[in-house]
Structure 1
Amino acid sequence: MESSAAPTVSAGHDAGPAPVDLLRRLRARGAGDPVTHVERVPARVGVPAPWPAWAPPELRAAFARRGVVAPWQHQAEAATLAYDGGHVIVATGTASGKSLAYQLPALATLLADPRATVLYLAPTKALAADQLRAVAGLELEGVRPACYDGDTPRAEREWIRRHSRFVLTNPDMLHHGILPGHAQWSGFLRRLAYVVIDECHTYRGVFGSHVAHVLRRLRRQCARFGATPVFVLASATSGDPATAAGRLTGLPVTAVTEDASPRGGVTFALWEPPLLPPDSATPAVPAQAAGDHDATTDLVQVRRSALRETADLLADTVAEGVRTLAFVRSRKGAEVVAANARRALDDAVPGLGDRVAAYRGGYLREERRELERALLHGDLLGLASTNALELGVDLVGLDAVLICGYPGTRASLWQQAGRAGRSGQEALAVLVARDDPLDTYLVHHPEAIFGAPVEATVLDPANPYVLAPQLACAAVEAPLTPADLALFGDGAKEAIDQLVEAGALRQRPTGWYWRHRERPEVDLRGEGGAPVCVVESATGRLLGTVDGGSSHFLLHPGAVYLHQGISYVVDDLDLADGCALVHVEEPDWSTHARDVTDLSVVSVRSYVDAGPVGMFLGEVDVTSQVVSYQRRRIATGEVIDTRPLDLPTRELRTVAVWFTLSPRSLASAGVQQADVPGALHAAEHAAIGLLPLMATCDRWDIGGLSTALHPDTEAPTVFVYDGHPGGAGFAERAYGTASAWLRATRDAIAECGCETGCPSCVQSPKCGNGNNPLSKPDAIRVLDVVLENLPA
């Protein structure tokens, strides 16, 4: 580990130091103090409520055996609303017991009505598996809970369809399996009493818009079988949860938001990694590991990387006997943090590194289940995870959470921080800032975290690129009728007409009919295609999967791919078959893909004419292609060579926000004509970096382009666009908050202590132009011109 001493192992691992003492020890391990702010989140006393009169004695007894003596006030309120037939969302903090709010009415109904069924939807397999353990552990006669997902053996599926009364699944399986096979599920669906949608705040953007229509398709099939289930939603604390739940389900929903559960105190530290020595040109971490798309990075690190810092902190907390969960933004990042922490621990005490592991999506089922078991039973003390463990998995006894980089929303930040102290004990949470504009801004503006409301969930069911494919899926399940237009909402008739014109639907007197034998292929997660399987060439062993949209960056021929700390090099990428062949190799170089992008304006939806400045929202066409990759020495960052790639072009019609400036206004502000490209480029990077402060996205959900003279605007222009077909609502949010968004962008650049620009302000880890040209001082001048003219 660079510049850090090996951790000192404490005598025992059963009980670590108190959070305040632990933080003091962590702060003292380096020359300077990396903590910019410490927030004390006070403990809270719980407010219990009596069991509802309708809760049967055997159910109360089952919960009592699990240690639940009585519900908390919010649990009882939400449960009663649902039991009385109202659609309800309970939006309270992590570890507040939201599960009881839906388990109580659902299980009471199953016990009272031996024919009733319940469908539970979770965004991750880990969460569904955890809820299965919880429901099965109640040992209620006749409930027969079962998971039905991609991991379910085919031999078990028919039994589940016929006999399970509490089916746990995910939106993907509902979309790909249950709804297309509705005839096989007719017995279950016609008796469906409740639909539970857990962690519903995760259904945002394009994914959320798709899920909204999957739920409408579910309601449609239930209605055909004569069922009108009650929807019960559980969410992290979020802005306006009733409205978001209504958009998701298409139903009127009542919100329960007052959290009455007890909570242990949390010491929450904001941690900024130290600056590297001025003469250091060594990357703090292999750039290929920094994020799922960071293979494109050309950054010169000025601070120690958040990945290295988090790995050190994880090693230190594990050495103190502190059960710690480290959240990392990417799959590669989780692998790197775990590997570096293991190495540091083994340097201190051989074998201690075995108590740290990585956990991420793409692992095989057996690996995921074993890691969950090991953490729950204490065989592991440290786990580096992607957000697969962010959600409501019932992990108890965790003492600390490390968050490697701001996760994109305050809702996710608090959700991750809430994984510690779930048994009511004092806990430590540490946000380790990445070297980028948003994280740097946040650790120096703690009020933006601790004094700002949690964001509202952004989704747009009317997105035509979501609505039309979903209507096609619905038409396969049953012909569309005029009565369905209201169910699918605004734009449904126009989308149906387009499907008819394209030859996908045929209109008859009784409705619109699907014309093809094949079902439409619709990717709910908008990840740019089906997952690509990563297969070891020598053995044929499946290592994992990578989403299709990332495969161009992560699995191009010659790319270095990490799996459980082992390096592989890609031999071949077959996009048609969805397969990448790799072999084991430990190269001393990392790979960095490069892409080129072009953009044209299709239409303008709205604009603000502010004299020399124009602000626009509209549709654009984006064309991009990964054209080459660099190999660089891991130890020095030296470029070995650049190798061409022959990968297909990708085209995207989406929504963008953009602003234009007159050349005269730029000249008046002191921006020389030769510096305009660098000024706009730097402003674009910083604006993309700060947009997640305003919208529920991260910088990988959005893209950008800047030019000193765009042919469609005939002016210097900066574009920021949604990285999903048809848009995801992020550019629209940026347009609506333009002044606040660009003010925060300007402040982030101006407050950065560097002279010419760095990853903390204007450099981007995904720049296709190698972060060149960039002009930090001129970017401030550009944004000053915009802010001086744009209405507040």
Structure 2
Amino acid sequence: MATAPLRTDLLEVRHRRDLPPRPGRVAPWPVWLPVGAPARTAVERAGITELWTHQVAAADALTARRHVVLTTGTASGKSLAYLLPVATAAVAAPAADDPVRWRRRPATSLYLAPTKALAHDQARVCAELAVPGWRVATVDGDTDPADRQWARDHAHHVLTNPDLLHASLLPQHARWASFLRSLRYVVVDESHRYRGVFGAQVAAVLRRLRRLADHYGADPTFAVVSATSSDPVGSAAALTGIPADELVAVHEDGSARGRIRISLVTSELAPEAAAAEVMAERVRDGEQVLTFVSSRRLAEEVAAAGNAVAYRGGYLASDRREIERGLADGTIRGVAATNALELGVDIAGLDTVVMCGYPGSRAAFWQQAGRAGRRAADADVLLIARATPLDAYLLDHPGALFDQPVEATVLDPSSPAVLGPQLAAAAQELPLRDGDDRWFGATTRSLVQRLTDRGLLRRRPDGWFWTSPGRAVDRISLRSTDARSIDIVVESTGRVLGTVGADAADLVVHPGAVYLHQGETYLCDDEGWDPESAEALVRAARPGYLTQPLVDADVSLGPPEAHRPAGAGRLTYGLGRVSSTVTGYLRRDEVTGRVWDSTPLDRPERVLTTSVTVLTVPGAGEPLSRTRLDAGTHALEHLVTGLLPALTANDRYDVGSHSWLSEEGEAVVAVFDRRPGSGFAASAYARGDAWLTAARDRLEQCDCVSGCPACVLSAGCTSSRPLDKATAQRLLAVVAPTVVD
């Protein structure tokens, strides 16, 4: 279907980029997959008579037992590229010269996805492929004991997630010995999702897996599947621990694609309102449209206004399948979704994809855009910009979106905050020994000694042993360096609405806080969250206001690990101490945002030791009052923190920030990793020149008078300090005086 013209009364096109149509390129069937082979027969029975070039390249390398990094586009058939060798190995007859073939299990494989939904979706793909004799099982926290035992004892291909691998399969590896002994392949899907602390934790889990597989005599081949990345091999090496020179990159996409028209647009309406209008109009015209929004509530609202259905996290697998079937057979014309759909439903070939705001990274942008386009048909992608510094910057600099590679994945697998507890878990699984640094890296010995000094490990002649009666893995949260979490519980029913990390609980469930859940509002009780019970009790209410915590913070940097000039200022990086106290909260009208009043609180100080990058700016020309200079420093903090995701691929909550004036009158802005070990502060330091230049350009190109959400205003600010755009601009002129290529 030809794409419709954009409504000029609704949308203003700021930039347009056309991706030309791409003819498909096919390759001959692999010689190891002859006519009549079970996997080939199954594929041909599904109507696939030819393979794309990248599918054959990846499948050939995996069959030759070479590790592969596969980074072709969305809906390019990546699953088939690794499933062909995986299924073929599983159903192959044992070699006649194998002396222990009578007791060896057929080749097994492990598939890891960052979400349960994606693993279940992959199970559906495997079921549809239906290779005779190939046994596939999904194992996660919801799997009953009998099915889990069947998977351990009989499945060839087990689909799961890193959380279960970490907390169940590896600690109980003796039960999985038969499976691990025959482990031929490990598939790490959506690997670009493993970044920051989550990425570092999963990297350690994969090293534990490789170590245990080696213990059982296996040497699995890895297929690392990712969105396009600027350094896919380097990222895969950091994630898996496999040397980069042992990884084969397959990135040239051989699949066919129609012309894709990508438009960056603005609207006088809110992005979601404009998106609903576009969706409704195009659905009426017979198109199939997918709109991405930022929250579950907005998914429901946009779907209702746009004559569409909603898709969001929390839907059952049956609901996802119904949506998928409806799009496939044409009975569903529009879907409004949170980014959960990126991983939850296999949808591609749509006429139009609409994004309500930049999704935070180029990887996510191209992942969402990849849902548009059929083999020969044209398609539209619309990014409706929000009034944020990041979106505004991309409107002014579209080349930063279209002409730059997708971000490299930021993760630090050697972070002591991550690797130390993971080494304890590894020691409980199998005593640590000299030489285990080949799995865990050069810092292994020093961290083991630290754990021994603390009494967590004990040295014996045959290695280092875990000494506690508890489970080491229970002290680790894969998505944080703090395993503690607080349940948010409805007092009257006991229903758990959600969880929040203990480190952030005072921000979310302090006394008197309004908690939002799926568009409904709840009030926290007067005691706030209870550290003893690890619960925060709430009750359903509609008080007419929302709450905003007020925070006093302080950042102190220890001995710097690195420092360098930034124009006439300087950037410094190192380990720092971040202390914060929630001192009260504002009540804001839920409709207008107007502040009703302020309520003081007496909450304890929270201290975080984490990586910090500090920007120090000397005087900005003619003397300014400390009041004005402080307001400019505060505005600068908002701006540079809001722009950081354009360079480091962090989510907004991944980094915290604080700003102040030194005794000498210097402006100081600190950004820090909210989760120690995530690596984003280090990335900010490394990209400092480009980061500050982007901030300078944003202020120069923003035509507001005194500051707006597209430059220095931040809806998430917890301070009552004033803002001064003009002074922020003067400060940036000091540290970013020239354009950086």
TM score, norm. by length of structure 1? 0.85
Check whether the contact 2:566–2:736 (CA below 8 A) recurs between aligned residues. Answer: no
Q: Does 1:19 align with 2:3?
A: yes
| Equivalent residue in structure 1 for 2:645, among 676, 682, 692 | 692
1:380-391 to 2 correspondence within 5 Å?
A: 381-391=333-343
Alignment match, 1:103:
83
Distance 1:120 1:784, change over 3 A: same
**Alpha-carbon contact 2:53-2:254 (below 8 Å) kept:** yes
Partner of 2:682: 732
The aligned residue for residue 437 of structure 2 is 485
Aligned to 1:70: 50
Counterpart residue number, 2:99: none
| Cα distance in 2 between the residues matched to 1:423 and 1:574 | 56
Distance 1:617 1:44, change over 3 A: same
Give the letter aligned to residue 720 of structure 1: V
Residues 560-571 of structure 1 correspond to what in structure 2 (within 5 A)?
A: 560-571=514-525
Q: Could you say what secondary structure the match of 1:338 adopts?
A: helix
Equivalent position of 1:750 in the other structure: 700
Amino acid at match of 2:426: A
5+ residue gaps in structure 2?
A: 94-104
Contact 1:94 1:392 in 2 (8 A): no
| Cα deviation digits, residues 430-489 of structure 1 (max 9, x gap) | 212222111111022211111222221121111111111111110111110011022100
Q: List aligned pairs for 1:603-752, cutoff 5 A.
A: 603-609=559-565, 612-645=568-601, 647-662=603-618, 665-666=619-620, 668=621, 671-709=624-662, 715-725=666-676, 727-752=677-702
- 2:265 aligned residue: 271
Matched with 2:224 is 233
TM-aligned CA deviation for residue 341 of structure 1: 4.1
Q: Which of 148, 163, 178 lines up with 2:154 in the alignment?
A: 163
Q: Structure 1 pair 537/373, CA: closer, same or farther in 2 (3 Å)?
A: farther
Amino acid at match of 1:86: R
Q: Single out whichever of 207-216 and 637-646 deviates more from structure 2.
A: 637-646
Counterpart Cα distance in 2 of 1:125 and 1:243: 27
Q: Is the 8 A contact 1:335 1:562 kept in 2?
A: no
2:293 aligned with 1:328, yes or no?
yes
Match of 1:278 in 2: none
Supply the distance in 1 between the matched residues of 2:274 and 2:546 (Cα, whole angstroms): 20
Q: Matched residues in 2 for 1:561 and 1:20: separation?
A: 41
Amino acid across the alignment from 1:46: G
1:528-585 CA-partner distances (Å, limit 9, x unpaired)? 5455444444344444555555544444444444444444444464454444444333
3-state secondary structure, aligned to 1:19 = coil
SS in 2 for 1:643: strand
Partner residue in 2 for 1:282: none
Distance in 2 of aligned mates of 1:714 and 1:789: 24
SS in 1 for 2:576: strand
Q: CA deviation at 1:643?
A: 3.1
- Please state whether the residue corresponding to 1:387 is helix, strand or coil: coil
Q: Which has the higher contact order (CA 8 A, sep 6+)?
A: 1
Q: Is the 8 A contact 1:132 1:145 kept in 2?
A: yes
Work out the CA distance in 2 between the residues paired with 1:318 and 1:625. 50
Displacement of 1:791 in angstroms is 9.8
Matches within 5 A, 1:507-522: 507-520=459-472, 521-522=475-476
Residue 104 (structure 1) shift:
1.1
Contact residue 567 and residue 737 of structure 2 kept, 8 A: no
Residue 372 of structure 2 is aligned to residue 420 of structure 1: yes
Alpha-carbon shift at residue 313 of structure 1 (Å): 4.2
**TM alignment of 1:200-219, pairs within 5 A:** 200-219=191-210
Aligned residues: 718
For 1:365-444, what aligned pairs fall within 5 Å after superposition?
A: 367=316, 369-378=318-327, 381-391=333-343, 393-421=345-373, 425-444=377-396
Cα distance between partner residues in 1 of 2:542 and 2:419: 46
> What is the TM-score with the length of structure 2 in the denominator?
0.91
Is residue 2:741 matched to residue 1:776?
Answer: no
Deviation at 1:706, TM superposition (A): 1.2
Q: Which of 14, 24, 41 in structure 2 is aligned with 1:46?
A: 24
CA contact (8 A) 2:457 2:467 kept: yes
In the other structure, the counterpart of 1:11 is none
Over 3 Å counting, the alpha-carbon distance change for 1:487 and 1:425 in structure 2 is: same
Q: C-alpha separation between the residues in 2 aligned to 1:789 and 1:270?
A: 27
Aligned to 2:102: none
CA shift for structure 1 position 624: 2.1
Change (3 A) 1:643 1:376: farther
Helix, strand or coil at the partner of 1:339: helix
**What is the CA deviation profile of residues 371-419 of structure 1, one whole-angstrom value per residue up to 9, with x for unaligned ones?**
4433432465444433322137422453322222222221111011112
1:110-129 Cα shifts (integer Å, max 9, x gaps): 11156111100011112111
Q: Structure 1 residues 315 and 180, CA, compared in 2 at 3 Å: closer, same or farther?
A: farther
Answer yes or no: is the 8 Å Cα contact 2:198–2:480 preserved in 1.
yes
1:493 Cα deviation (Å)?
1.3
Residue-by-residue CA offset, 1:622-652 (whole Å, 9 max, x unaligned)? 1223333322222332222333445554322
C-alpha contact (below 8 Å) 2:584/2:600 kept by paired residues: yes
Query: 1:51 Cα deviation (Å)?
Result: 1.1
Match of 2:414 among 462, 477, 480: 462
**d(CA) in 2 for partners of 1:144, 1:164:** 5
Distance 1:239 1:616 in 2: 26
Q: Taking structure 1 as reference, are residues 273 and 791 closer, same or farther at Cα in structure 2, changes over 3 Å only?
A: closer
SS, match of residue 391 in structure 2: helix
The correspondence for 1:764, drawn from 714, 717, 731, is 714
Question: Quick one: structure 1 residues 425 and 714, their matched pair in 2 at CA, closer, same or farther if it must change by over 3 Å?
Answer: same
Q: 2:632 corresponds to which letter in structure 1?
A: A
The one-letter code sitting in structure 1 at the alignment partner of 2:241 is G
Please give the per-residue CA displacement for 1:721-776, whole angstroms capped at 9, x wherever unaligned: 12211x32222222222111101101111211111111110112222214x32111
Aligned to 2:189: 198
